[in-house]
Structure 1
Amino acid sequence: MIELHQLTKHYGGTLAVDDLSFKVEPGHVTGFLGPNGAGKSTTMRLILGLDAPTSGQALVNGRRYATLSRPMHEVGALLDAGAVHGGRSAYNHLLCLARTNDISATRVAEALEQVGLSGVARKRVGGFSLGMKQRLGIAAALLGDPGVLMFDEPVNGLDPDGVRWIRDLMRSLAAEGRTILLSSHLMSEMALTAERIVIIGRGKLIAESTVAELTARYPSLEDAYMALTADSVQYGAAR
């Protein structure tokens, strides 16, 4: 489970996350929505200990990420598919990550197979398309077989087959009882993939609901999102 308790983050004079509290529970995909500048990426960084909150706390399975001894066994995340050393092969990239968390080389091969990259495992990542890098990032998230998974715009650069693959993967992982937090701007995909939705704007919680509840009140998830965030669109702030 992911739990946020009155999470707040200031960057100088900018308030990126504002007293934010919500839970992401196991067994379903939770969609994380908000306009540009809403604070979604900042929130995910705070959960993963990449930034320190100004106040409040973000917990994974009841603990701060920084206190986890082998974090990849508990939490997997894809925040930036491009954050990979281009001179390394896909296999060596994952192997380096695996060694930091006592994960076997056998598991590296399994993760590459799971995301469809076995055939290019020994090729340098610098020659990969964005879609292939997305698959590699997902392999890295899955490497420790964690119960909690976080994905920021995972379908970027994927063709329709890849988008469907991501959708099916997210739903199958949730069906296994894992906790899935999925951030995306693609409302059509979110409507097909997520069961629960968290919407934020200007760093604050706007809505925490199910897709079914929102689509019962509005013609579509997109209509619900547009109506609920109408007063929260901003420019030039943190994501």
Structure 2
Amino acid sequence: MRELTKKYGGTRAVDRLTFTVEPGHVTGFLGPNGAGKSTTMRVLLGLDAPTSGEALVNGRRYTSLRRPLHEVGALLDANALHPGRSAYNHLLGLALTNGIGPTRVAEVLERVGLAGVARKKAGGFSLGMKQRLGIAAALLGDPGVLMFDEPVNGLDPDGVRWIRDLMRSLAAEGRTVLLSSHLMSEMALTADRIVIVGRGRLIVESAMKDLTDAYDSLESAYLALTAGSVEYGATR
């Protein structure tokens, strides 16, 4: 990400944002709702064009990737699926567009714990099951880069723990994991690097340990670093 700016009319959603997400880590992307996190991810995935600056995956624009699912997987909206399709057919349709066979579909369904409901219509799934299906879609091409936007929203404690453990395991495999959230408690437990943004601007990019060593806790660091930049109440 280099000097990324995105405007919608007169609104500057992302403002000259620069940071790097490294492999082998869970990088937490933290900020209140409206801080520009989702917009940044949409630009990274080629869903929105930048007003200026660059948002690159492995040094290239997403739109230039020949087989994008093999390089980057993402979950932005767990409800972005056809409710009348089974979990298996939802994934198979995505897989075939990138030259991925049905064996891999079965593998990712197993990994996310949906093998037993693979033939059921996804429209009847709970939010937690839809989150798992979205993660399965992100994993289809066995990509080295993964992005997840607020994946724990609305989940029960078991679902939150499952996603937390999965993020860590993916990073331990050497993948680059960017995890967006407005929840400081979850970032403190999951991420080992942190990028904090407010009003579309970078506030800090740091190893989590360095930040918590300096400020005792992520919450203390957030309060100190964002004073006057964002409203703390929006992150609760």
Normalising by structure 2, we get a TM-score of: 0.95
DSSP-derived class of the 1:23 partner: coil
Is the CA contact (8 Å cut-off) linking 1:36 and 1:233 kept in structure 2? no
| Matching residue of 1:55 | 52
Aligned residue pairs: how many? 231
Alignment of 1:1-239 (within 5 A): 4-233=1-230
The whole-number CA distance in structure 2 between the counterparts of 1:221 and 1:44 is 23
The whole-number CA distance in structure 1 between the counterparts of 2:51 and 2:185 is 35
- Residue identity opposite 1:174 in structure 2: A
Offset, 1:162: 1.7
DSSP-derived class of the 1:22 partner: coil
Is the CA contact (8 Å cut-off) linking 1:90 and 1:125 kept in structure 2? yes
Is the CA contact (8 Å cut-off) linking 1:197 and 1:208 kept in structure 2? yes
Offset, 1:24: 0.3
DSSP-derived class of the 1:169 partner: helix
Is the CA contact (8 Å cut-off) linking 1:134 and 1:156 kept in structure 2? no
The whole-number CA distance in structure 2 between the counterparts of 1:130 and 1:227 is 34
Percent identity, please.
81
C-alpha RMSD of the superposition = 1.0
Offset, 1:186: 2.2
Q: Deviations over 1:149-171 (max 9, x none)?
A: 00011112322222111111111
- Residue identity opposite 1:51 in structure 2: D
Structure 1 unaligned segments of length 5 or more: list them.
235-239
Structure 2 unaligned segments of length 5 or more: list them.
232-236
Offset, 1:227: 2.5
Is the CA contact (8 Å cut-off) linking 2:30 and 2:187 kept in structure 1? no
Q: Deviations over 1:74-110 (max 9, x none)?
A: 0000000011110110000000100111111000010
Is the CA contact (8 Å cut-off) linking 2:147 and 2:177 kept in structure 1? yes
Offset, 1:18: 0.6
Q: Deviations over 1:178-215 (max 9, x none)?
A: 00000012222211111100011111110001111111
DSSP-derived class of the 1:60 partner: coil
Q: Deviations over 1:116-149 (max 9, x none)?
A: 0001100001110001000000000001100000
Q: Which runs of 4+ in 1 moved over 6 A?
A: none
- Residue identity opposite 1:177 in structure 2: G
| Matching residue of 2:234 | none
The whole-number CA distance in structure 2 between the counterparts of 1:232 and 1:109 is 46
Normalising by structure 1, we get a TM-score of: 0.94
